[in-house]
């Protein structure tokens, strides 16, 4: 039996342990990220090399709103000649364990791209001839089985790989490819991501949105991912694949993108094996460096042995097929791209070879009862021009704002925001006048009934603004279907061409933005209040005709084999959704496309029509590639409000 003295001693020891734990938490801080305890002291660690004065604490966390500095961009582009000379001195950091050759190019048969319910596909809108050229090149690479890389830039709408994880899986199932793509080294906040496990310690994480808290040498070298981690000796990061999706593991290639303010020494371990370890010497050069690993990759670990390293992140991928890099940043309305380095972006583009840059922004810029977004349109045009300068061989796709509902202050009932059509029109105009493609996320959500259906089916958060992983699957599938439909039309028309080699990355591309005046007259949109969310009941799936598809039944190149549709019974439980599989009949190649035939409620909401610019206005708003870069955006409004997440 325990004596009272022993009991008292244990009480005091327990109290001492609690006090010590609280003190340690205050001093060092602990938080959980990626399933591992991570010391907040690592985030406060200042490397010995950093001599820059950090801004005062009361202003360091202020998010800076960037404006396009095209004079600075032009200066960077003009220095590309000097950069090319430095590029030739870059050391080659390559570790070949088992090198896998890229698959030979072989044109997909058009029947393998044939979707069901094609009439409901939301089209990818193509405007100018230069848009057609770059986007068609991206599509041709898909059709011919060439390796394709997508940079998906967005805000918190796609944070954590929402939407992009399912879009990636759909694309890889059809066109090949494996892996999660790009993952940051470290970021200054915790997040949840199912598609990869990442643990980091000993790093200072910096954001391009908070330059006052960053060393100046970091601010001068941001990648479009928006985050950089600086670590000294002992800093360590691990990336590990998951099986959340079928094609995330069993990858055959990895890349680590680094920079260093001085020479440094790093150690790389593969798959947790001490027998697969290699060390690399990094040199002090004004360009990002790449460590390329060819071999089976399920777990990748990098640690700093000596010196200081700035790490952007790593990619885990397959050889060939589709790679989708999620480059999202919370609290970013898209302006953060102006705070990144064109030289850094160009060099990483040479390593990675981006074929499509997606710009998904605008959700939090939108305000109810506001129908004029000229300043935002002009800023979006500058974003597109900047993206084209950083990734000159890639097509640019602007994704229109998604559906969003707000609560009425008086009735406290949610209703559709009445400025969605207005914002969509201005985003479309920005794409049309800068040679970018356009796709409407709002139309994709309306296919299922809009945000009310998303919330009712638990596909979106209760704020009626942000979709979750289930909602991202629906929107991601619609984007995938739109790209496949475009590829099918190009393949069956016989216009698809074998992709040529990428052109020289450092060519001085300059895009002139002509000033224009967009005249859109909008009638007030009547907001329909949302009904209280009822309990889910099985319903019959319906198709809504979103737009009129091109009839290509009479086009040349007949099907190699007839197709038949096999439809499995609809599951009674709404959580277990039936699937529709298109399978070639006997004699055709063994290739199948699968996707969910989702059950949904369709809201028959009516919204006011938007008067689009006339054909003459569109012709005046064309984009030309010239030898000068001039921007003259005359805003039609005196004020412009942007909010962040």
| C-alpha distances in Å from residue 393, one per residue of 323, 500, 503 | 16, 12, 7
Give the CATH number of the domain where residue 619 resides. Answer: 3.40.50.1110
Residue 575: what pLDDT? 39
Please check whether residues 160 and 288 belong to one and the same domain: no
pTM score over 0.75: no
- Beta strand 322-328 with 148-154 is parallel
Do residue 214 and residue 355 come from a single domain?
Answer: no
Q: Residue 290: which CATH number?
A: 2.60.120.260
Q: Please provide the DSSP assignment of 114-151 as one string.
A: PPSSGGGPPPPB--SHHHHHHHHHHHHHHHTT--EEEE
Does residue 46 fall inside a structural domain? Answer: yes
Note whether 168 and 186 are same-domain residues. Answer: no
Q: Residue 459 has what pLDDT? A: 98
Is residue 271 located within the same domain as residue 356?
no
Give the CA distances from residue 318 to residues 167, 254, 613, in Å, rounded to whole numbers and listed in that order.
16, 8, 44
Pairwise CA distance, residues 560 & 557, whole Å: 9
Give residue 181's pLDDT: 98
The Cα-based distances of 533 to 323, 356, 455 in angstroms read: 38, 38, 8
CA angle 558-562-563, nearest 5°? 125
What is the tally of structural domains in the chain? Answer: 2
Q: Which residues contact 479 (CB under 8 A, 6 or more apart)?
A: 163, 167, 399, 439, 444
Residue where one domain finishes, among candidates 319, 342, 363: 319
Let me know whether 213 and 331 are in one domain.
no
The per-residue DSSP string of 228-248 comes to EEEEEEEEEEEEEE--SSTTS
- In this prediction, the residues of the chain whose per-residue pLDDT falls under 50 are 22-58, 504-509, 516-613, 615-645
Whether residues 478 and 414 fall in one domain: yes
Asked if residue 334 and residue 291 are part of one domain, the reply reads: no
* Whole-angstrom distance, CA of residue 205 vs CA of residue 218: 10
Which of 276, 295, 319 represents a domain boundary (last residue)? 319
| β pairing state of 148-154 and 356-360 | parallel
Structure confidence by residue, pLDDT tens digits, 348-391: 999 999 999 999 999 989 999 999 999 999 999 999 999 999 99
Q: Decide if 450 is inside a domain.
A: yes
Parent domain of 549:
66-92+121-177+321-493+508-645
Res 503: pLDDT = 53
Distance CA 377, CA 385 (A): 12
Are 315 and 326 within one domain? no
Give the bridge partners for 236, in sequence order.
201, 303
Task: Tell whether 9 is covered by a domain.
Answer: no
Whole-number pLDDT of residue 643: 35
Per-residue tokens: 523 = 């009638």
């Amino acid at each position: 039996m325990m004596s009272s003295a022993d009991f008292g001693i244990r009480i005091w020891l327990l109290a001492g342990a609690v006090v010590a734990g609280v003190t340690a938490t205050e001093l060092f801080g602990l938080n959980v990220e990626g399933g591992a305890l991570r010391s907040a002291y690592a985030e406060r660690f200042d490397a010995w090399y950093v001599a820059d004065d950090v801004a005062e604490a009361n202003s360091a966390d202020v998010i800076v709103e960037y404006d396009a500095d095209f004079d600075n961009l032009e200066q960077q582009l003009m220095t590309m000649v000097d950069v090319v000379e430095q590029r030739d001195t870059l050391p080659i950091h390559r570790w070949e364990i088992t090198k896998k050759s890229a698959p030979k190019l072989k044109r997909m048969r058009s029947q393998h791209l044939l979707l069901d319910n094609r009439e409901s596909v939301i089209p990818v809108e193509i405007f100018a001839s230069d848009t057609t050229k770059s986007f068609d090149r991206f599509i041709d690479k898909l059709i011919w089985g060439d390796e394709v890389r997508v940079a998906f830039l967005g805000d918190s709408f796609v944070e954590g790989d929402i939407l992009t994880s399912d879009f990636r899986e759909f694309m890889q199932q059809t066109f090949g490819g494996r892996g999660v793509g790009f993952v940051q080294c470290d970021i200054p906040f915790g997040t949840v991501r199912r598609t990869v496990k990442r643990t980091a310690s000993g790093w200072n994480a910096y954001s391009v949105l908070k330059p006052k808290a960053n060393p100046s040498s970091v601010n001068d070298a941001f990648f479009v991912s928006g985050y950089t981690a600086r670590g000294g000796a002992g800093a360590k990061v691990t990336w590990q694949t998951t099986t959340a999706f079928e094609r995330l593991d069993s990858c055959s290639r990895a890349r680590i993108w680094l920079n260093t303010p001085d020479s440094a020494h790093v150690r790389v371990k593969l798959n947790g094996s001490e027998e697969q370890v290699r060390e690399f010497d990094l040199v002090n050069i004004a360009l990002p460096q790449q460590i390329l690993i060819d071999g089976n990759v399920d777990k990748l670990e990098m640690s700093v042995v000596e010196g200081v390293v700035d790490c952007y992140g790593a990619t885990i991928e397959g050889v060939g097929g589709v790679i989708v890099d999620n480059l999202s940043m919370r609290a970013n309305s898209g302006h953060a791209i102006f705070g990144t380095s064109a030289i850094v972006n160009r060099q990483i583009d040479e390593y990675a070879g981006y074929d499509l840059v997606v710009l998904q922004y605008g959700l939090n810029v939108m305000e109810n009862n506001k129908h004029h977004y000229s300043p935002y349109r002009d800023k979006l045009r500058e974003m597109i021009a900047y993206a084209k300068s950083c990734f000159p061989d890639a097509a640019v796709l602007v994704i229109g704002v998604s559906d969003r509902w707000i609560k009425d202050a008086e009735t406290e009932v949610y209703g559709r925001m009445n400025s969605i059509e207005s914002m969509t029109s201005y985003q479309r105009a920005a794409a049309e006048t800068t040679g970018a493609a356009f796709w409407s996320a709002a139309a994709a959500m309306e296919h299922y009934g809009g945000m009310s259906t998303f919330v009712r089916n638990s596909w979106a958060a209760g704020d009626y603004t942000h979709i979750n992983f289930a909602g991202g699957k629906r929107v991601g599938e619609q984007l995938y279907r739109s790209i496949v439909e475009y590829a099918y039309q190009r393949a069956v028309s016989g216009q698809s061409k074998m992709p040529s080699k990428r052109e020289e990355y450092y060519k001085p591309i300059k895009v002139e933005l002509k000033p224009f005046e967009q005249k859109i007259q909008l009638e007030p949109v009547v907001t329909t209040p949302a009904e209280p969310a009822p309990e889910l009941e099985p319903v019959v799936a319906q198709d809504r005709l979103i737009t009129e598809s091109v009839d290509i039944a009479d086009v040349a190149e007949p099907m190699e084999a007839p197709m038949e549709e096999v439809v499995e019974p609809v599951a009674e439980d709404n959580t277990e959704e039936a699937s529709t599989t298109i399978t070639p009949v006997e004699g055709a190649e063994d290739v199948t496309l699968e996707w969910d035939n989702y059950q949904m409620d369709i809201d028959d909401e009516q919204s006011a029509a938007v008067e689009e610019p006339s054909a003459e206005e569109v012709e005046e708003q064309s984009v030309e590639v010239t030898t000068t870069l001039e921007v003259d955006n005359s805003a039609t409004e005196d004020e412009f409000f942007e909010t962040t997440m």
